[in-house]
Structure 1
Amino acid sequence: MDIYLPIAEISVNAFLIILLGGAVGILSGMFGVGGGFLTTPLLIFSGISPAVAVASATTQITGTSVSGAAAHARSKGVDFRMGGVLIVGGILGTIFGGLTFQQLQIAGQIDLVVGILYIILLTGIGILMIREAWIVIRARRTGIPIKPPARRHHPLVAALPGRWRFYGSGLYISPLAPLGVGFAVGTLTVMLGIGGGFILVPAMIYLLGMSTRVVVGTSLYQIVFIAAATTMVHALTTQAVDIVLATLLLLGSVIGAQVGTRLSTRVNPEWLRLFLAALVIIVAVRMALGLGWRPDEIYSIQIT
């Protein structure tokens, strides 16, 4: 069944978009990721412009993060003070990213910039995931236990002035550090339509030194507000949010997440991580080919 997307200005198969959202939802349920870093490239491959794909994907991220954040909040797995600082930095980042996105869109370079950023980001994520999964698999085969990393914040963070106590995270650090982390994640959320959890979680552990007990919940708490702010920024600046597309994606992802959660208990998590890493790298290669491959039509006419 074809349906017209008013903002994207194309007709798409509604069931295909729902299936796409469902596939990303399955991955979210299996691996605990928001899936935005896969949703946007897959939408672009489906023929939707990068600007609309980025803006609409954040709406889906908002909806899928609410339930997770609420569950962690009930189990006291959220540091609300740390989350508040991250949110302030994230909102500032969304404003900066939105203005940058708008200028690139006016200059006609947004497709190129989004493509290059995704190639770099997906390749890096894929390599890191393969490395981590292989370390765990090798340790299980050899019987040598993995030494857990010491929980401490980065020396640069320790040097920042004006320390606050974050009781939920067990930290006494400057709020400038989480403010900067939130700013970076907010900027990337606007530019790429990602939730930022796969960047935020490692930064919270290895840069800020947060307790792993509250990392995931605090990350989801921040993502809810930043994804919502990103949607608002895109709606006001680029006008690229397609609510019909976002609704179809959200419908599929909600169903897919339930399926993925059940599948995650039946398969070895390390092999699942390797599979996701391979999928991420394949998407990066496909996007690189899309940027370098000569199109059938070299020129196009845009009516403004």
Structure 2
Amino acid sequence: MDLYLPIANLSVNALVIVALGLGVGLLSGIFGVGGGFLTTPLLIFYGIPPTVAAASAASQVTGASVSGVFAHFRRGGVDLHMGAVLVVGGVIGSVAGAWLFTVLQASGAIDTVIGILYVVMLGSIGTLMFRESVGAVRVARGARPPTPRKRRHHPLVAMLPLRWRFYRSGLYISPLAPLLLGVFTGILTMLLGIGGGFILVPAMLYILGMGTQTVVGTSLFQTLFTTAVATMAHATTTKAVDIVLAALLLLGSVVGAQLGAQFAQRAKPEYLRLILAVIVLLVALRMLLGLAWRPDEIYTVTLG
């Protein structure tokens, strides 16, 4: 079932795109991650231009975040005060990212920059996840567990001025820390089309010192608004959002997330994290090969 994508300017198999969204949604439901950090590389592997893949993935993440935000909000798992600061930073970062995206696009370097950023980020995040998951598997098999980390924000956060109280998270820190964190994730959302949750959640835990009961919900809250702003910025500046592509991805991801959540209830979490770490590292390796290796003849003409 071929379908023409007007912005990407190519025809794709609609069932393949839906299946890709289904797979990413399945991973999202199983592993508890947004999946946006895998959507863009998989689209690039399929042949979608990196600029269109990043912009369309951001719009798909926006739609996929809505149900998650409402679910966490009903359970009291969203710190609206912290989330508002993160959203302001995300909006600022999205605007800055839009300008940077336009500059890189005009110079012809945007595709290479997207690839390099993905290799660095997926490689580093995948390595950290692999180390943590291997330790969790060893503990599950009877090894001695490590000393629990005391929840406390990073010393650099303590040095920042203007402290506010974030009652839901139980923090008394400077709003500049979550603001800067929001700016960083906003830039990444604009450039890479990711929700930022796989970076934002660890940063909120280990840098800001937030408790686990509010981290995921607050992260989704920020992701929802930041990706929405990034999608609007792409639509008005880069003109790279392909709504047909985003709709197909969203259709598959919604179904996949429900199936993944059911499967995750019956699986061991430490093994799930290990599998996810391996998947992330394999995607990073594939991106690296795509950047470093080129065929001897890029174009060939066969006379029949």
TM-score tier after normalising by the smaller chain length: over 0.9
Q: What TM-score results when the alignment is normalised by the length of structure 2?
A: 0.96
Tell me the residue number matched to 1:231. 231
Q: Distance in 2 between matches of 1:8 and 1:103?
A: 20
**Cα offset for 1:25?**
0.3
Output aligned runs, 1:28-177, within 5 Å. Answer: 28-177=28-177
Moved more, 61-70 or 266-275: 266-275
Moved more, 290-299 or 133-142: 290-299
Q: Distance in 1 between matches of 2:49 and 2:143?
A: 49
Counterpart residue identity of residue 259, structure 1: L
Moved more, 284-293 or 226-235: 284-293
**Cα offset for 1:177?**
0.5
Tell me the residue number matched to 2:250. 250
**Cα offset for 1:57?**
0.2
Moved more, 188-197 or 272-281: 272-281
Which deviations, in whole Å up to 9, do the C-alpha atoms of 1:179-234 show, x marking residues without a partner?
00000010111111100001111111111111211111100111000010110111
Which deviations, in whole Å up to 9, do the C-alpha atoms of 1:134-155 show, x marking residues without a partner?
1111112234234321111111
**Cα offset for 1:291?**
1.1
**Cα offset for 1:33?**
0.5
Count of equivalent residues? 300
Percent identity for Structure 1 against Structure 2: 64
Moved more, 141-150 or 151-160: 141-150
Q: Distance in 1 between matches of 2:127 and 2:179?
A: 28
Tell me the residue number matched to 1:211. 211
Q: Distance in 2 between matches of 1:271 and 1:135?
A: 11
Consecutive aligned runs of 4 or more in structure 1 exceeding 3 Å deviation: 295-299
Tell me the residue number matched to 1:279. 279
Counterpart residue identity of residue 173, structure 1: I
Counterpart residue identity of residue 251, structure 2: L
SS of aligned partner of 2:4 = strand
8 Å contact from structure 1 (residues 122, 280) kept in 2: yes
Q: In the alignment, is residue 186 of structure 1 matched against residue 186 of structure 2?
A: yes
Ranges in structure 2 where 5+ consecutive residues have no aligned partner = 300-304
**Cα offset for 1:283?**
1.0
Q: Distance in 2 between matches of 1:297 and 1:85?
A: 51
Output aligned runs, 1:257-268, within 5 Å. Answer: 257-268=257-268
Q: Distance in 2 between matches of 1:198 and 1:232?
A: 22
Moved more, 139-148 or 279-288: 139-148
Cα distance change, pair 60–175 in 1 and its aligned pair in 2 (3 A):
same
| C-alpha RMSD over aligned residues | 1.3
Which deviations, in whole Å up to 9, do the C-alpha atoms of 1:19-69 show, x marking residues without a partner?
000000000000011111110000001110000000000111011111111
8 Å contact from structure 1 (residues 136, 146) kept in 2: no
Q: Distance in 2 between matches of 1:6 and 1:143?
A: 55
**Cα offset for 1:296?**
6.0
Moved more, 241-250 or 163-172: 163-172
Tell me the residue number matched to 2:12. 12
SS of aligned partner of 1:53 = helix
Q: Distance in 2 between matches of 1:185 and 1:166?
A: 20
Counterpart residue identity of residue 18, structure 1: V
Moved more, 241-250 or 284-293: 284-293
Ranges in structure 1 where 5+ consecutive residues have no aligned partner = 300-304
Tell me the residue number matched to 1:294. 294
Q: Distance in 1 between matches of 2:166 and 2:181?
A: 16
